[in-house]
Structure 1
């Protein structure tokens, strides 16, 4: 899989699909994760799209130290798009990745065609005890969070933990990610985001519960809401069939005529 260089750091990304393709779709993972979470989506989209999923700086196989502001991660994604010569693309973001997608849609509307916000929110406040736990027994905190990320019926999901990439990111970067989430609040600007948006979440998401997605749907002028029954925060892994069906419908059909 390929790398590119941003600010003297090697950034890893996965690529599927033909070049040229009808359009590019860029997947952005959430806090402490990596491009691994999108494996089940890349294989589905590569028939019709140029599908790309990057490891954010400091995550997965990318070099870097992470960032404490969502805006800084958004700049990294923008530089990634520039490096690949992508003038316009659709963005699919999970959790913190959704915050990054929203930021890019607001600040660089000409670069973003559509957005998909999976298990995300307009504000991502983090309880202080979560940061404290991560600064304490890191492995135990990650273990508990990893279980919490999946809905109860799927706690024994055979490969979910590995695909989520939970626990493979350094303590320092994970803490920065949660600081970035805690400082994110795009609520006053949602009405200014004019791209078509798919807001999708798991019915049993305990990190970003359905109310977060309902709020996004209510305030984003051109959005569609889908709630995946029985799924938790890692909905794209837990029920990839339902997630992929909703994703393909959204990317190939207009939400509003």
Structure 2
């Protein structure tokens, strides 16, 4: 997809459905985090986006929440589906909340996964990113996953994260740190599915419970033995929850 002369990559699994679900990854991530959703959600069309400077997308000079929202707008405007649902994980959740408040008429529903209305980032994470990227990746592995998660899943995630690099990840975390829609959450009128792993240390369950308490038309799904990377750790439960939610909108 062209965006101001640069290429932004997305992966599409078109299942000839009138409904499409767009998946937006989190800080220092890429579209590969949604591999189990792209492959296994066959009832609906599915897109996983690489944000600018992530994955297979071109490098951009300055990353910002506004840029990410504008890229998502360009993508959505290019689509022709009767129903559009966006799912954001962590930073992706900040992007889709911001998008909703700017373009509510574009969307039929939101899926808020491992995210919050406010996303403060620990100074220790920001410091370790600047100081020693390898140290940061080790730290991330310890906090991003449930202790029950297999090493192969953790290693694959670390290998992908290491390709994104410290600078892009740092900019993403700064965007998170400055994000705050705490006072607007109750104004979300769209149907919302909220998903959280019970072992999430980065965006604890209380963040998701806050959404559920404030958003009138919301469904909360807590997934046992999953951490922050719930869509990798417990993809079957995540996919079942998403399919059930989307079906309820029909």
* Change in CA separation of 1:86 and 1:180 when aligned onto 2, cut-off 3 Å: farther
Kindly tell me the number of residue pairs found equivalent between the two proteins: 249
- Unaligned stretches of 5+ residues in structure 2: none
TM-score, structure 1 length as denominator?
0.91
Q: Which residue of the other structure, out of 4, 7, 17, is the alignment partner of 1:7?
A: 4
Q: Using the TM superposition, give the Cα deviation of residue 74 of structure 1 relative to its aligned residue in structure 2, in angstroms.
A: 1.3
Q: Is the 8 A contact 1:69 1:181 kept in 2?
A: no
Q: How does 1:1-257 map to 2 (within 5 A)?
A: 4-19=1-16, 21-45=17-41, 47-65=42-60, 68-85=63-80, 89-154=84-149, 156-163=150-157, 165-254=160-249
- Unaligned stretches of 5+ residues in structure 1: none
CA RMSD of aligned residues (A): 1.8
Q: Using the TM superposition, give the Cα deviation of residue 129 of structure 1 relative to its aligned residue in structure 2, in angstroms.
A: 2.2
For 1:130 and 1:151, the matched residues in 2 are separated by: 18
Q: Helix, strand or coil for the counterpart of 2:226?
A: coil
Q: Is the 8 A contact 2:153 2:232 kept in 1?
A: no
For 1:66 and 1:160, the matched residues in 2 are separated by: 30
TM-score, structure 2 length as denominator?
0.93
For 1:86 and 1:8, the matched residues in 2 are separated by: 25
* Change in CA separation of 1:171 and 1:87 when aligned onto 2, cut-off 3 Å: farther
Q: Is the 8 A contact 1:104 1:112 kept in 2?
A: no
For 2:218 and 2:102, the matched residues in 1 are separated by: 18
For 1:219 and 1:67, the matched residues in 2 are separated by: 33
Q: Using the TM superposition, give the Cα deviation of residue 83 of structure 1 relative to its aligned residue in structure 2, in angstroms.
A: 3.3
